[in-house]
Chain A
Amino acid sequence: MRVGIGLPNTIPGISGALLVEWARRADAGPFSTLAVLDRLVYDSVEPFAALSAAAAVTERVGLATNIAIGPLRGAAMLAKQAVSVDALSGGRFTLGLGVGARRDDYDAAGVDRRSRGAALSEQLAYLRGRLDGSGIGPARPPVPLLVGGSSGAAFARMARYADGYAHGGGPPRAFGSAAARARAAWRDLERPGEPVLWGQGYVAFGDPDRGCDYLRDYYAFTGPFAEKIAAGNLTSARAVKDFVRGYAAEGCDELILYPTVADLDDLERLAEVVA
């Protein structure tokens, strides 16, 4: 299992300088991937913009949206952003997509939330097919696609169009149960081989309370569920190691650990823990 790190693009107040330094250090560290989250109505940096900045100062590390809320963008514009980041990074990009869970993002984008599942399917079909020969460049080899979500329809969509599954977080056991569903869907659609499986977790070492407060705020739209997400914040080296082992045992291919405090010391600490 590879371990990646999140870029703190959704932590309010993040400066460009810190974001770029974070990317540089991640590139120098043991991390396989730098991943970003996506949210429209929040004090956060747009994911493709953040990854473009990261692409400019890194050479090795993979870049990923995990996930970006596809339907907030038109299919062609989404494709343009994806091939752009892939070109800027020299083919290091993985595009993870989902429908997201926030009503306000859809309202602000002026997109009908009720048809978000169908819209995402159409985007995936576009990225997999129409894009090629559309004239939208730069021309790139196919960008690896991940799909997130927990409904049966989401798993079917993942198996129909994507290369793998992006899990939304939780204890290893929850990941394991989602992984079984992803594999079942993969076989159901008669895809050869196995889906690539990505997991994620949240980390704070130096100031756990601040990290938990951020999670409560970021996930406030989920109501009481936000407290459970905050309770899952990994705040010690031991907790991170247990979590990493647990995900590896459940067959995770790539685990992204997201910072909940934008503190470079946390990055260095995490680099030591997962090295």
Chain B
Amino acid sequence: MRVTVVGAGPSGLYLAILLKKADPAHEVTVLERNAPDATFGWGVVFSEETLGALRDADYSTYLEITDSFARWSAIDIRYRGRVLRSTGHTFSAIRRTHLLDILQRRARALGVDLRFGVEVSTVEPADLVVAADGANSTLRRAGSFGTTSEPQGCKYVWFGTDLVFDAFTFIFARTEFGLFQVHAYPFDENASTFIVETTEETWRRAGLDRMSEEDSLAFCAELFKSDLDGHRLMSNKSVWLDFPLVRNRHWHDGNVVLLGDAAHTAHFSIGSGTKLAMEDAIALANGFTRHPSDVEQALVDYELERQPVVERFQQAAGDSAAYFGRVGHYQDLAPIQFAFNLLTRSGRISHANLTQRDPHLTRVLDSWFAGAAEPGSVAAPPMFAPLPLGGRTVRNRVVRVGGADAARAGAGLVLTGLVAVSPDGRTTPDCPVSDAWTPDVGEVHAAGALAGLRLGHAGRRGAVRESGVDVPLRDGWPLLSASPLRYAPFGAVPKEMDESDMDRVRADFVAAAERAAAAGFDVLELDLADGYLLASFLSPLSNRRGDGYGADRTRFPLSVVDAVRAVWPAERVLAARLTVTDWARGGLTVEDGIGHARALAEHGVDLVHVRAGHSTAGSRPEYRRGYLTTLSDRIRNEAGVPTLVGGYLTTQDEVNTVVAAGRADLCLFDPPPTPLEAL
């Protein structure tokens, strides 16, 4: 087989080695635009699993690579003048030029034809053409791969330093312009990678957009002077960049295949680019072992094996990049919580697996979270820490919807389903109405939980046949909403509320709140979510009013909150179920949601139950496990309001992780039933 590899980075060289090794009859040529000793970047990181794959694929390069590794097991977090060290992680890194040197020598020894200084725009015919020419692949442009490339995360610049760190080190530096952070790690006995990162706004405020390479290096060296401890910051064509998120729908077109960064990128903050690239090379070479005479089948195997893995890393990398984009909002977190939040940012580490890696850190975290007087004393996991809220205390962080059964199953707070303020505010005919419903708060209290009542008016989502099913009743009732727009197909057009409707609904809310107080509920949750009546005023998609209630979309909902707060006992908890983004074009964004949450808090709301989507029936939710957690994180840390979050949290580990990281205060816990319960 004749193989042309374009690009002599780690993935291209490694593939050449593996193909040539598998069958010396292959004619393998590697074309590289730069000189053999051209240097880009500094060190590259590997994880433990990757090393196993490298050992199995080619033992001799594995030996050489691992012999020159810098290895460490700690992560240092320098934050507000403290250093937090987490241990039990495994990292290794190597100088990039040294890695390339090892691979070049091995490739040459095996008989690979390496040609440097070759500008490649077209490739001579071959049986297989490999585009290993990086995120900005030139070769990729010639084929049809469904490529997208978009900037992801912060502005960053890639320096080196002669300071040898002894841990993967994150440094957070507050400046007059905003927050800067560093990702630094050693890659041999002489030097470390030192990446500086900041948001575009901070970068502009600091004037870095107008600085020369030397000036920006001087700026960073000065900013991190004490961290560098007298050592130098070194540039290697180090300019500020946007990280390009590259995706390709197809990784091969005919006999041209994409490898490494040309096929996909993963944000540098999870340090997986080189790992993924070299694993690509192994998978592609294996494809040819399985299908030696069928290029198409080998390429299909390669895609089938690698695409799901890469998708998972890109998801984690996206979460990590987004975390560093908003980390400026976490500067008030206590150091131990800040560290836990950082370590769990991409969803790959949870409370449970951090406990395996670093049991001491989670012990200290749990003890801090439980409010123990003695730091590091034994404490229950975070989900069992009581939460003072308003004038009440929830015994743990678990919320469930139901009745006394949910309380007996251990929930700290038990919420009812929707209770309508009036008959026309019902969803279905079975939906309870406040004045004709006798709750049993006593049994919930007897089981040790707080009792919460979800109070609302279904608005234009009323008069449907079944809970959650937006199919109108044949003989429904007149609906109300902010504007006369139907919710779902065949639904009735609601009446646009006038002042007298508003007065009546407000009075209904007040009367229902008084009944809830008299019934002994500890928590009253007002429903401002999911396209129901109060939510219909908040969203521009459902509020098209030309009057003052359209100009200020919060006006009517806040007037209800004020009226309820006035009669709801001060020491009891007032919560609001709030749609924080519409997940629809032209609808509320998270920034709007943060503003609404802040306004609610100013009007006496103690807790925001974070919801998203469903302001219109055509919203596009982004479902996955814990899909509301990041939204809750933003509301809690940017609006400064305690939050309750659901979003399909089904394990105790998820609850522990969410609350300990400060992404929510309470979790709606929803484990699936299991046959084990019958044992």
- Give A residues with C-beta under 8 Å from B: 117-118, 121-122, 125-126, 128-130, 132-133, 151-153, 155-156, 159-161, 173-174, 177, 180-181, 183-185, 187-192, 194, 223-225, 227-228, 230-232
A121 to B469, CA, bound (A): 12
**Distance of B220 from chain A, by nearest CB (Å):** 40
A33 to B395, CA, bound (A): 49
21 residue pairs from A and B, CB less than 8 Å apart: A118-B618, A121-B488, A122-B489, A128-B469, A129-B472, A156-B620, A159-B468, A161-B470, A161-B471, A174-B308, A181-B623, A184-B624, A184-B625, A188-B648, A189-B468, A189-B614, A191-B469, A192-B467, A227-B296, A231-B297, A231-B304
Q: Which residues of B contact A190 (CB under 8 A)?
A: 417, 467-468
A155-B623, A184-B627, A227-B296 known; 12 other A-B pairs, CB under 8 Å?
A126-B489, A133-B474, A151-B620, A152-B583, A153-B618, A153-B619, A174-B308, A180-B625, A181-B624, A188-B647, A224-B250, A228-B304
A187 to B652, CA, bound (A): 18
Q: Which residues of B contact A192 (CB under 8 A)?
A: 467
Question: How many residues in B have their beta carbons less than 8 Å from beta carbons of A?
Answer: 41
With contacts A151-B620, A153-B620 known, is A160 near B648, CB below 8 A? Answer: no
Q: Which residues of B contact A194 (CB under 8 A)?
A: 672
Among B488, B583, B621, B670, contact of A125 (Cβ-Cβ < 8 Å):
B488
B646 within 8 A of A: yes
Among A133, A173, A185, A224, contact of B621 (Cβ-Cβ < 8 Å):
A185
Q: Which of B656-674 contact A (CB under 8 A)?
A: 670, 672
A223 to B145, CA, bound (A): 10
* Contact B648 A180, beta carbon cutoff 8 Å: yes
A159 to B614, CA, bound (A): 12
* Contact B670 A187, beta carbon cutoff 8 Å: yes
Q: Which residue of A lies closest to B491 (CB)?
A: A125
**Distance of B376 from chain A, by nearest CB (Å):** 36
* Contact B468 A227, beta carbon cutoff 8 Å: no
B303 within 8 A of A: yes
A122 to B465, CA, bound (A): 16
* Contact B624 A180, beta carbon cutoff 8 Å: yes
B496 within 8 A of A: no
A125 to B618, CA, bound (A): 13
Q: Which residues of B contact A232 (CB under 8 A)?
A: 304
* Contact A160 B620, beta carbon cutoff 8 Å: no
Q: Which residue of B lies closest to A130 (CB)?
A: B490
Q: Which residues of A contact B465 (CB under 8 A)?
A: 128-129
* Contact A224 B623, beta carbon cutoff 8 Å: no
**Distance of B636 from chain A, by nearest CB (Å):** 20
A191 to B647, CA, bound (A): 14
* Contact A125 B647, beta carbon cutoff 8 Å: no
* Contact A223 B250, beta carbon cutoff 8 Å: yes
Q: Which residues of A contact B670 (CB under 8 A)?
A: 187
* Contact B468 A228, beta carbon cutoff 8 Å: no
Q: Which of B462-512 contact A (CB under 8 A)?
A: 465, 467-472, 474, 488-490
Q: Mark B305-329 against chain A: 1 for CB-CB distance below 8 A, else 0.
A: 0001000000000000000000000
Q: Which residues of B contact A118 (CB under 8 A)?
A: 618
Q: Which of B614-652 contact A (CB under 8 A)?
A: 614, 617-625, 627, 646-648
**Distance of B657 from chain A, by nearest CB (Å):** 17
With contacts A121-B488, A128-B469, A190-B468 known, is A185 near B250, CB below 8 A? Answer: no
Most B C-beta atoms less than 10 A away, residue of A117, A130, A189, A223? A189
Q: Which residues of A contact B621 (CB under 8 A)?
A: 152-153, 155-156, 185, 188
A174 to B620, CA, bound (A): 21
* Contact B469 A161, beta carbon cutoff 8 Å: yes
Among A132, A187, A225, contact of B648 (Cβ-Cβ < 8 Å):
A187
With contacts A224-B253, A228-B300 known, is A125 near B623, CB below 8 A? Answer: no
Q: Which residues of A contact B297 (CB under 8 A)?
A: 227, 231
* Contact B467 A125, beta carbon cutoff 8 Å: no
B162 within 8 A of A: no
With contacts A184-B648, A231-B304 known, is A152 near B468, CB below 8 A? Answer: no
B20 within 8 A of A: no
Q: Which residue of A lies closest to B648 (CB)?
A: A184
B459 within 8 A of A: no
* Contact B489 A160, beta carbon cutoff 8 Å: no
Q: Which residue of A lies closest to B299 (CB)?
A: A227
* Contact A227 B300, beta carbon cutoff 8 Å: yes
B301 within 8 A of A: yes
B252 within 8 A of A: yes
Q: Which residues of A contact B43 (CB under 8 A)?
A: none
A153 to B618, CA, bound (A): 7
Q: Which residues of A contact B301 (CB under 8 A)?
A: 231
A132 to B490, CA, bound (A): 13
B613 within 8 A of A: yes
A161 to B472, CA, bound (A): 12
Q: Which residues of B contact A117 (CB under 8 A)?
A: 618
A159 to B617, CA, bound (A): 12
Q: Which residues of A contact B646 (CB under 8 A)?
A: 187
